[in-house]
């Protein structure tokens, strides 16, 4: 008898063969299938899909709607194979997607998060402290960081290689000497702690395997609570992805303050962040009041100089 997990593997393999990366589906849908199995359900039901989608209970409705959309795609695929499958209606969780306001971390915030990681078990403490530090100084996506293998860190050249970034794009990220030193120290600690790892991953869990995307987010939320960081509004909550936003905004702020030609430098930042084009990077101009004010001030100076 084919299990739901096997059906899910077939669904993901089929869509990926058509060119879809399905990163979010690959991370979340196995948990949904586990949810069905915990309730003894042999097939998808709209009610169980709704119950799973509305997690966490304090989450944003737009996030719930996105989770339900992932289930709907899988359910539509399964319905042709198993008529017991219920496809959740499209209006079951209507929500207009509103892009979250980035939670811009201060240096003190990042230090508090790293300090909070120290309460974890020794290897997890080092893994998460180093991961948070790396995200904050490179702007990498968390999925890119936990996908790094140990061979992707070249301490001689001082770079990390992102081999399969968003949209399948690869890039090299140059590192500051201090960052190289921290990664080198972590690698030594990791290898002493787990001399025979079960994964080639650069960042390891306590049992020697690669960090799991879902677990990384869950652990980060715990560290946020331990560090005492509070939401600034219903649309501005501290998320691990906001370390990337913070890096981008701080880089732009520093460029403006230094009087550099930001328009000329923006494609460089886009390449560094792994954006498809500078259009995605321009969004950060409206993400921070400070950055928006600096951009407006620069435009005003340009107009005055021409008049």
Helix (H) or strand (E) holding 9: helix 4-17
Whether residue 237 lies in the annotated active site: no
Q: How far apart are CA 228 and CA 60, in angstroms?
A: 21
DSSP calls for 11-50: HHHHHHHTT---HHHHHHHHHHHHHHHHTT-SS--HHHHH
Whether residue 141 lies in the annotated active site: yes
Q: What angle do CA 35, 40, 9 make, to 5 degrees?
A: 55
Options 7, 67, 77, 141, the catalytic residue: 141
Whether residue 21 lies in the annotated active site: no
Options 67, 190, 210, 244, the catalytic residue: 244
Instruction: For residue 216, report the phi and psi dihedrals to the nearest 5 degrees.
Output: -65, -45
Options 72, 190, 210, 275, the catalytic residue: 275
Options 5, 221, 241, 298, the catalytic residue: 241
CA 68, 69, 71, 77 dihedral sign is: positive
Options 166, 221, 222, 298, the catalytic residue: 166
Whether residue 275 lies in the annotated active site: yes
Whether residue 54 lies in the annotated active site: no
Whether residue 166 lies in the annotated active site: yes
Q: Long-range contact list for 292-301, CB < 8 A, 24+ apart?
A: 294/253, 294/256, 294/257, 295/256, 295/262, 298/256, 298/262
- 173 pairs with which residues across the strands? 160
Helix (H) or strand (E) holding 172: strand 171-174
- Residues serving a catalytic function are 141, 166, 241, 244, 275, 284
């Amino acid at each position: 008898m084919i299990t739901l997990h096997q059906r899910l593997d077939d669904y993901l393999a089929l869509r990926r063969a058509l060119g879809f990366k399905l990163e979010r589906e690959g991370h979340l849908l196995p948990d949904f299938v586990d949810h069905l199995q915990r309730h003894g359900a042999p097939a998808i039901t709209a009610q169980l899909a709704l119950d799973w989608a509305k997690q966490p209970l304090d989450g944003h409705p737009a996030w719930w709607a996105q989770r339900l959309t992932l289930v709907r795609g899988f359910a539509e695929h399964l319905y042709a194979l198993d008529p017991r499958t219920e496809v959740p209606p499209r209006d079951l969780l209507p929500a207009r997607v509103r892009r979250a306001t980035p939670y811009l971390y201060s240096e003190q915030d990042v230090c508090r998060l790293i300090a909070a990681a120290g309460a974890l078990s020794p290897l997890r403490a080092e893994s998460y402290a180093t991961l948070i530090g790396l995200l904050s100084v490179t702007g990498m996506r968390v999925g890119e960081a936990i996908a790094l293998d140990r061979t992707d860190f070249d301490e001689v050249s001082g770079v990390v290689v992102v081999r399969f970034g968003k949209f399948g794009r690869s890039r090299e990220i140059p590192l500051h000497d201090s960052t190289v030193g921290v990664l080198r120290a972590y690698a030594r600690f990791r290898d002493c702690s787990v001399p025979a790892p079960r994964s080639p991953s650069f960042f390891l869990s306590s049992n020697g395997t690669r960090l799991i995307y879902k677990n990384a987010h869950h652990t980060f939320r715990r560290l946020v609570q331990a560090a005492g960081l509070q939401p600034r509004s219903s649309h501005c909550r501290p998320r691990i992805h906001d370390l990337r936003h913070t890096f981008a905004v701080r880089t732009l702020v520093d460029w403006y303050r230094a009087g550099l030609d930001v328009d000329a430098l923006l494609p460089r930042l886009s390449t560094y962040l792994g954006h498809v084009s500078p259009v995605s990077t321009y969004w950060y101009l409206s993400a921070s009041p400070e950055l928006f004010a600096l951009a407006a001030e620069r435009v005003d100076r340009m107009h005055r100089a021409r008049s």
